[in-house]
Protein backbone atom coordinates (compact mmCIF):
# COMPACT_ATOMS: atom_id res chain seq x y z
CA UNK A 1 0.00 0.00 0.00
CA UNK A 2 2.89 2.33 0.73
CA UNK A 3 4.11 2.29 -2.87
CA UNK A 4 0.54 3.03 -4.01
CA UNK A 5 0.41 6.14 -1.84
CA UNK A 6 3.89 7.12 -3.03
CA UNK A 7 2.78 6.99 -6.66
CA UNK A 8 -0.33 8.99 -5.81
CA UNK A 9 1.75 11.69 -4.07
CA UNK A 10 4.04 11.93 -7.11
CA UNK A 11 1.06 12.30 -9.44
CA UNK A 12 -0.45 15.10 -7.35
CA UNK A 13 2.97 16.79 -7.30
CA UNK A 14 3.13 16.48 -11.09
CA UNK A 15 -0.29 18.11 -11.46
CA UNK A 16 0.76 20.95 -9.13
CA UNK A 17 3.97 21.42 -11.12
CA UNK A 18 1.96 21.58 -14.36
CA UNK A 19 -0.25 24.27 -12.83
CA UNK A 20 2.82 26.27 -11.81
CA UNK A 21 4.40 25.85 -15.26
CA UNK A 22 1.29 27.24 -16.92
CA UNK A 23 1.41 30.22 -14.57
CA UNK A 24 5.07 30.78 -15.50
CA UNK A 25 4.29 30.73 -19.22
CA UNK A 26 1.53 33.26 -18.70
CA UNK A 27 3.35 35.68 -16.38
CA UNK A 28 6.88 34.57 -15.57
CA UNK A 29 7.96 33.94 -11.99
CA UNK A 30 5.21 36.20 -10.68
CA UNK A 31 2.63 34.32 -12.72
CA UNK A 32 3.87 31.02 -11.36
CA UNK A 33 3.60 32.25 -7.76
CA UNK A 34 0.14 33.65 -8.44
CA UNK A 35 -0.97 30.36 -10.02
CA UNK A 36 0.29 28.35 -7.07
CA UNK A 37 -1.41 30.79 -4.70
CA UNK A 38 -4.69 30.34 -6.58
CA UNK A 39 -4.25 26.57 -6.40
CA UNK A 40 -3.69 26.76 -2.64
CA UNK A 41 -6.78 28.94 -2.18
CA UNK A 42 -8.92 26.64 -4.32
CA UNK A 43 -7.75 23.60 -2.40
CA UNK A 44 -8.46 25.33 0.92
CA UNK A 45 -11.98 26.02 -0.28
CA UNK A 46 -12.26 22.44 -1.54
CA UNK A 47 -11.09 21.11 1.82
CA UNK A 48 -13.89 22.84 3.72
CA UNK A 49 -16.77 23.05 1.24
CA UNK A 50 -16.28 20.53 -1.58
CA UNK A 51 -18.46 17.80 -0.09
CA UNK A 52 -21.51 20.06 0.14
CA UNK A 53 -20.79 21.46 -3.31
CA UNK A 54 -20.58 18.03 -4.96
CA UNK A 55 -23.68 16.75 -3.20
CA UNK A 56 -25.58 19.85 -4.31
CA UNK A 57 -24.34 19.42 -7.91
CA UNK A 58 -25.93 15.98 -8.02
CA UNK A 59 -29.15 16.88 -6.19
CA UNK A 60 -28.43 14.58 -3.25
CA UNK A 61 -30.76 14.72 -0.26
CA UNK A 62 -29.95 13.37 3.23
CA UNK A 63 -31.74 10.32 4.61
CA UNK A 64 -31.85 8.81 8.08
CA UNK A 65 -33.07 5.75 9.94
CA UNK A 66 -36.67 6.89 9.53
CA UNK A 67 -36.68 7.84 5.84
CA UNK A 68 -34.41 5.06 4.50
CA UNK A 69 -34.14 2.46 7.28
CA UNK A 70 -32.62 -0.40 5.26
CA UNK A 71 -29.89 1.67 3.60
CA UNK A 72 -29.09 3.62 6.77
CA UNK A 73 -28.82 0.48 8.92
CA UNK A 74 -26.62 -1.20 6.31
CA UNK A 75 -24.19 1.74 6.21
CA UNK A 76 -24.20 1.91 10.02
CA UNK A 77 -23.25 -1.78 10.35
CA UNK A 78 -20.60 -1.58 7.63
CA UNK A 79 -19.08 1.55 9.20
CA UNK A 80 -18.77 -0.33 12.50
CA UNK A 81 -17.07 -3.22 10.71
CA UNK A 82 -14.66 -0.75 9.10
CA UNK A 83 -14.02 0.97 12.46
CA UNK A 84 -15.26 4.28 11.02
CA UNK A 85 -17.53 7.00 12.39
CA UNK A 86 -21.03 6.87 10.94
CA UNK A 87 -21.02 8.95 7.73
CA UNK A 88 -23.95 11.02 6.55
CA UNK A 89 -26.11 9.08 4.09
CA UNK A 90 -27.59 10.64 0.95
CA UNK A 91 -29.83 9.50 -1.88
CA UNK A 92 -29.66 10.98 -5.39
CA UNK A 93 -32.81 10.95 -7.50
CA UNK A 94 -31.16 9.61 -10.64
CA UNK A 95 -32.09 6.51 -12.68
CA UNK A 96 -28.45 5.63 -13.44
CA UNK A 97 -27.22 3.07 -10.86
CA UNK A 98 -24.16 4.61 -9.20
CA UNK A 99 -22.69 5.84 -5.91
CA UNK A 100 -19.87 7.96 -4.50
CA UNK A 101 -18.31 9.10 -1.23
CA UNK A 102 -17.14 12.57 -0.28
CA UNK A 103 -15.83 14.51 2.72
CA UNK A 104 -12.52 15.89 3.96
CA UNK A 105 -11.93 13.15 6.56
CA UNK A 106 -13.68 10.15 8.16
CA UNK A 107 -15.26 12.41 10.79
CA UNK A 108 -16.86 14.60 8.10
CA UNK A 109 -17.80 12.13 5.39
CA UNK A 110 -20.86 11.19 3.37
CA UNK A 111 -21.90 8.34 1.11
CA UNK A 112 -24.46 8.82 -1.64
CA UNK A 113 -26.35 6.25 -3.71
CA UNK A 114 -28.65 6.88 -6.64
CA UNK A 115 -32.23 5.67 -6.71
CA UNK A 116 -31.20 3.69 -9.77
CA UNK A 117 -28.70 1.74 -7.68
CA UNK A 118 -31.18 1.05 -4.90
CA UNK A 119 -33.73 -0.21 -7.41
CA UNK A 120 -31.25 -2.31 -9.45
CA UNK A 121 -29.03 -4.10 -6.93
CA UNK A 122 -29.93 -6.75 -4.41
CA UNK A 123 -29.11 -6.48 -0.71
CA UNK A 124 -25.65 -8.07 -0.86
CA UNK A 125 -24.60 -6.12 -3.98
CA UNK A 126 -25.64 -2.86 -2.35
CA UNK A 127 -23.59 -3.80 0.74
CA UNK A 128 -20.58 -4.40 -1.51
CA UNK A 129 -20.95 -0.94 -3.07
CA UNK A 130 -21.40 0.83 0.27
CA UNK A 131 -18.36 -1.01 1.65
CA UNK A 132 -16.35 0.19 -1.38
CA UNK A 133 -17.37 3.78 -0.66
CA UNK A 134 -16.48 3.40 3.02
CA UNK A 135 -13.07 2.11 1.91
CA UNK A 136 -12.53 5.41 0.08
CA UNK A 137 -13.36 7.23 3.31
CA UNK A 138 -11.07 4.98 5.35
CA UNK A 139 -8.21 5.58 2.88
CA UNK A 140 -8.94 9.35 2.84
CA UNK A 141 -9.33 9.15 -0.93
CA UNK A 142 -12.29 11.53 -0.82
CA UNK A 143 -10.06 14.50 0.02
CA UNK A 144 -7.38 13.44 -2.48
CA UNK A 145 -9.88 13.08 -5.32
CA UNK A 146 -11.37 16.48 -4.51
CA UNK A 147 -7.93 18.11 -4.67
CA UNK A 148 -7.15 16.50 -8.04
CA UNK A 149 -10.55 17.57 -9.41
CA UNK A 150 -9.90 21.13 -8.21
CA UNK A 151 -6.45 21.24 -9.77
CA UNK A 152 -7.71 19.74 -13.02
CA UNK A 153 -10.41 22.41 -13.23
CA UNK A 154 -7.89 25.15 -12.46
CA UNK A 155 -5.50 23.88 -15.14
CA UNK A 156 -8.28 24.00 -17.72
CA UNK A 157 -9.04 27.55 -16.60
CA UNK A 158 -5.40 28.61 -17.03
CA UNK A 159 -5.34 27.01 -20.48
CA UNK A 160 -8.26 29.22 -21.47
CA UNK A 161 -6.50 32.25 -19.99
CA UNK A 162 -3.49 31.46 -22.16
CA UNK A 163 -5.63 31.74 -25.29
CA UNK A 164 -7.22 34.98 -24.07
CA UNK A 165 -3.83 36.60 -23.37
CA UNK A 166 -2.22 35.38 -26.58
CA UNK A 167 -0.03 32.73 -25.02
CA UNK A 168 1.68 34.68 -22.27
CA UNK A 169 5.00 36.49 -22.25
CA UNK A 170 7.08 33.35 -21.63
CA UNK A 171 5.55 31.39 -24.51
CA UNK A 172 7.82 31.60 -27.61
CA UNK A 173 5.12 30.14 -29.88
CA UNK A 174 2.65 32.96 -29.31
CA UNK A 175 -0.94 32.24 -30.31
CA UNK A 176 -0.04 28.75 -31.60
CA UNK A 177 1.46 28.00 -28.22
CA UNK A 178 -1.64 29.36 -26.52
CA UNK A 179 -3.87 27.00 -28.51
CA UNK A 180 -1.56 24.10 -27.68
CA UNK A 181 -1.65 25.04 -24.00
CA UNK A 182 -5.43 25.24 -24.05
CA UNK A 183 -5.66 21.73 -25.54
CA UNK A 184 -2.69 19.89 -24.06
CA UNK A 185 -2.72 21.20 -20.48
CA UNK A 186 -6.22 19.90 -19.66
CA UNK A 187 -5.36 16.63 -21.42
CA UNK A 188 -2.25 16.23 -19.28
CA UNK A 189 -4.28 17.03 -16.16
CA UNK A 190 -6.90 14.46 -17.18
CA UNK A 191 -4.21 11.79 -17.60
CA UNK A 192 -2.83 12.48 -14.11
CA UNK A 193 -6.34 12.57 -12.63
CA UNK A 194 -7.09 9.27 -14.37
CA UNK A 195 -3.95 7.63 -13.00
CA UNK A 196 -4.70 8.74 -9.43
CA UNK A 197 -8.31 7.61 -9.58
CA UNK A 198 -7.51 4.21 -11.08
CA UNK A 199 -4.95 3.51 -8.37
CA UNK A 200 -7.43 4.37 -5.63
CA UNK A 201 -10.32 2.39 -7.19
CA UNK A 202 -8.40 -0.90 -7.09
CA UNK A 203 -7.47 -0.29 -3.46
CA UNK A 204 -11.07 0.57 -2.52
CA UNK A 205 -12.30 -2.60 -4.22
CA UNK A 206 -9.88 -4.66 -2.13
CA UNK A 207 -10.56 -2.99 1.22
CA UNK A 208 -14.29 -2.74 0.55
CA UNK A 209 -14.38 -6.49 0.00
CA UNK A 210 -12.67 -7.02 3.34
CA UNK A 211 -15.19 -4.74 5.06
CA UNK A 212 -18.28 -6.51 3.71
CA UNK A 213 -16.65 -9.97 3.83
CA UNK A 214 -17.35 -11.17 0.30
CA UNK A 215 -15.62 -9.82 -2.84
CA UNK A 216 -18.23 -11.51 -5.03
CA UNK A 217 -20.91 -9.11 -3.79
CA UNK A 218 -18.93 -6.19 -5.18
CA UNK A 219 -17.95 -8.06 -8.35
CA UNK A 220 -21.61 -8.78 -9.11
CA UNK A 221 -22.57 -5.18 -8.31
CA UNK A 222 -19.86 -3.72 -10.56
CA UNK A 223 -21.04 -5.81 -13.50
CA UNK A 224 -24.62 -4.62 -13.10
CA UNK A 225 -23.64 -1.01 -12.43
CA UNK A 226 -21.42 -0.91 -15.49
CA UNK A 227 -24.21 -2.19 -17.72
CA UNK A 228 -26.66 0.31 -16.25
CA UNK A 229 -24.28 3.27 -16.56
CA UNK A 230 -23.69 2.48 -20.23
CA UNK A 231 -27.43 2.50 -20.97
CA UNK A 232 -28.70 5.33 -18.76
CA UNK A 233 -27.63 8.97 -18.92
CA UNK A 234 -26.50 10.83 -15.82
CA UNK A 235 -27.19 14.42 -16.82
CA UNK A 236 -25.76 15.95 -13.64
CA UNK A 237 -22.45 14.12 -14.16
CA UNK A 238 -22.35 15.09 -17.84
CA UNK A 239 -22.78 18.72 -16.79
CA UNK A 240 -20.01 18.36 -14.14
CA UNK A 241 -17.51 15.89 -15.66
CA UNK A 242 -14.82 16.89 -13.16
CA UNK A 243 -16.73 14.85 -10.56
CA UNK A 244 -16.92 11.66 -12.66
CA UNK A 245 -13.91 10.07 -10.96
CA UNK A 246 -15.73 10.11 -7.61
CA UNK A 247 -18.35 7.58 -8.72
CA UNK A 248 -17.86 3.83 -8.32
CA UNK A 249 -18.34 3.37 -12.08
CA UNK A 250 -17.81 5.97 -14.78
CA UNK A 251 -21.09 7.92 -15.12
CA UNK A 252 -20.12 9.48 -18.46
CA UNK A 253 -20.72 7.98 -21.87
CA UNK A 254 -21.89 10.77 -24.17
CA UNK A 255 -18.48 11.94 -25.38
CA UNK A 256 -15.65 10.01 -27.04
CA UNK A 257 -13.07 11.59 -24.74
CA UNK A 258 -14.70 9.89 -21.78
CA UNK A 259 -13.46 6.56 -23.10
CA UNK A 260 -9.99 7.91 -23.93
CA UNK A 261 -9.49 9.50 -20.51
CA UNK A 262 -11.55 7.12 -18.39
CA UNK A 263 -11.02 7.77 -14.70
CA UNK A 264 -11.82 4.16 -13.83
CA UNK A 265 -9.94 0.90 -14.45
CA UNK A 266 -11.34 -1.51 -17.02
CA UNK A 267 -14.34 -3.20 -15.45
CA UNK A 268 -13.21 -6.67 -16.54
CA UNK A 269 -9.94 -6.15 -14.65
CA UNK A 270 -11.69 -5.00 -11.48
CA UNK A 271 -14.06 -7.97 -11.52
CA UNK A 272 -11.24 -10.43 -12.23
CA UNK A 273 -9.26 -9.13 -9.26
CA UNK A 274 -12.28 -9.49 -6.99
CA UNK A 275 -12.93 -13.03 -8.20
CA UNK A 276 -9.29 -13.95 -7.53
CA UNK A 277 -9.60 -12.46 -4.05
CA UNK A 278 -12.74 -14.53 -3.41
CA UNK A 279 -10.93 -17.71 -4.47
CA UNK A 280 -8.10 -16.94 -2.06
CA UNK A 281 -10.70 -16.51 0.70
CA UNK A 282 -12.32 -19.82 -0.23
CA UNK A 283 -15.57 -18.17 -1.32
CA UNK A 284 -17.47 -19.53 -4.30
CA UNK A 285 -20.97 -18.06 -3.82
CA UNK A 286 -22.50 -14.70 -3.00
CA UNK A 287 -23.99 -16.08 0.19
CA UNK A 288 -26.06 -13.74 2.28
CA UNK A 289 -24.47 -11.64 4.98
CA UNK A 290 -25.55 -9.75 8.10
CA UNK A 291 -25.69 -6.27 6.62
CA UNK A 292 -29.26 -5.40 7.49
Q: Kindly list the catalytic residues.
A: 133
> What's the per-residue H, E or C state across the chain?
CHHHHHHHHHHHHHHHHHHHHHHHHHHHHHHHHHHHHHHHHHHHHHHHHHHHHHHHHCCEEEECCCCCHHHHHHHHHHHHHCCCCCCEEEEECCCCCCEEEEEEECCEEEEEEEHHHHHHCCHHHHHHHHHHHHHHHHCCHHHHHHHHHHHHHHHHHHHHHHHHCCCCCCCCCHHHHHHHHHHHHHHHHHHHHHHHHHHHHHHHHHHHHHHHCCHHHHHHHHHHHHHHHHHCCCHHHHHCHHHHHHECCCCCCCCHHHHHCCCCCCHHHHHHHHHHHHHHCCCCCCCCCCCC
CA–CA distance, 98 with 76 (Å, rounded to integer): 19
Amino acid sequence: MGSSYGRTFMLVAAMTALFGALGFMLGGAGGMLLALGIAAAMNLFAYWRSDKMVLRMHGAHPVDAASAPQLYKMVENLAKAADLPMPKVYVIENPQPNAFATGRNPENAAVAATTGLLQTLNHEETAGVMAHELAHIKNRDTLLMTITATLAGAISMLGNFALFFGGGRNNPLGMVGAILMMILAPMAAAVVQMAISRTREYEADRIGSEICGNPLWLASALNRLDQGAQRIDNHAAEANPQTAHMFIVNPLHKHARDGLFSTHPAMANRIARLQDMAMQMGLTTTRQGPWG
